[in-house]
Amino acid sequence: MNVFEELESEVRSYCRGFPAVFERAKDHWLWDENGNRYLDFFGGAGALNYGHNNEHIKGKVLEYIQNDGIIHSLDMASVSKREFLETFNEIILEPRKLNYKVQFPGPTGTNAVEAALKLARKVTGRDSVISFTNAFHGMTLGALSVTGNAFKRSGAGVPLGNAVSMPYDGYLGDDTDTIDYLEKTLEDGGSGIDLPAAVIVETLQGEGGINVASFEWLKRLEDLCRRWEILFIIDDIQSGCGRTGPFFSFEPAGLDPDMVCLSKSIGGYGFPLALVLIKPELDVWEPGEHNGTFRGNNLAFVASTAAMRQYWRDDSLSRQVEANGARVREAFEKFVMTWPDVFVEARGRGLFQGLVCNDAEIADKICAEAFANGMLMETSGAESEVVKCLAPLTIDQEGIEMGLEILEKSIRTVLGKDDSRVA
């Protein structure tokens, strides 16, 4: 009996794209139960920035378990939570001159988004939230209402309201600054757009197709929010924790968001953890008003603290991400030049790179072929037309080169099978 097919819900998805039964993993490698090895260019969709079973972090986790460190404590105070908060403040917030309070919602990204939206509505007394085309913020109803993808939205089964979708940077082509349109709708009493509680945005849309907003666009968006007293929320769940180079994706744009959602790699070891960073004056929650059994996962605190101490005391990881990201980008651009009828462009920031195909089927075939050649790689975008590189940030140069070789080989095989496309 194939227990996955017989017992597990039809909703399962990644196991269809990566049809193996995985058993072990280390750094940027996974092994299935038959001993086949796979290079990881998928990185747990951004949850494994420090790789699988990171040796530096593992020691701390094992030691904590060995000593019967408290694992579950709802949101009670614990030594591991204190160490996490102190470390987060000392290594992440203070050096960046960021002043936030930290909320622990439930352990998933979508829960961080729900909490941020609820708080924005509570603070402002307004209902609606502005989000952007091709945004992805999670699968619960509030987060889904600010998510663009029609297929995902259709799963809600109820109307998704109290949200307005605006064109993201570049949505209307290179010649249109979509902030002009947003500004007009806010200024014009005839626009039909009510003043929103908040704007929620990804600086780089991961699930939406590696769409990169320019720093100027983001800065204009923030300025517009300030002018209209709209709360400015950045969803850094996928693009944070060093994915684009710096710890927060918005650092080089010089932004100062009112709230920041973090999850995915903040748990350090692939452990579930989510945070909402809140400007202190906005922290108007009543005790218990946003509750949850699994807030504050102590094992994740231990792993996250170890990850911050190991990787964020200096900028060596950031520089490695930038160097490896530049190498991936260079290779992707070469693919675009070699096969201009197949690939539209290469885009991304840091180790968050996309190779845009002119047809979704090709992207899927390339990822399937890469899997057959021993590599995990995922597609993204409204039509899954973008091949996306999300390798663990700790991957070495050799791993990057190996991945690019597998990718090129896979592209050649896919295009070779389709004679009309051979360059």
Ligand X SMILES: *Cc1c(COP(=O)(O)O)cnc(C)c1O
Q: Which residue in 256, 143, 300 sits closest to 207, CA to CA?
A: 143
Pick between residue 137 and residue 290 the one whose CB is nearest to ligand X.
137
As measured in angstroms, the least distance from the Cβ of 146 to ligand X is 10
Beta bridge partners of 346: 355
As measured in angstroms, the least distance from the Cβ of 46 to ligand X is 6
Spatial distance between the Cα atoms of 211 and 249, rounded to a whole number of angstroms = 13
Pick between residue 197 and residue 234 the one whose CB is nearest to ligand X.
234
Pick between residue 57 and residue 261 the one whose CB is nearest to ligand X.
261
Pick between residue 108 and residue 298 the one whose CB is nearest to ligand X.
108
Pick between residue 111 and residue 320 the one whose CB is nearest to ligand X.
111
Contacting residues toward ligand X, per CB under 6 A: 108-110, 113, 136-138, 202, 206-207, 235, 237-238, 263-264
As measured in angstroms, the least distance from the Cβ of 354 to ligand X is 14
Whether 373 and 394 have beta carbons less than 8 Å apart is answered as no
Name every residue whose Cβ is closer than 8 Å to that of residue 131 and which is 6 or more positions away in sequence.
137, 146, 147, 148, 163, 164, 165, 166, 199, 200, 201
As measured in angstroms, the least distance from the Cβ of 152 to ligand X is 11
As measured in angstroms, the least distance from the Cβ of 110 to ligand X is 3
Pick between residue 202 and residue 364 the one whose CB is nearest to ligand X.
202
Q: Which residue's Cβ has the minimum distance to ligand X?
A: 109
As measured in angstroms, the least distance from the Cβ of 363 to ligand X is 18
As measured in angstroms, the least distance from the Cβ of 90 to ligand X is 26
As measured in angstroms, the least distance from the Cβ of 112 to ligand X is 8
Pick between residue 241 and residue 404 the one whose CB is nearest to ligand X.
241
Pick between residue 109 and residue 142 the one whose CB is nearest to ligand X.
109
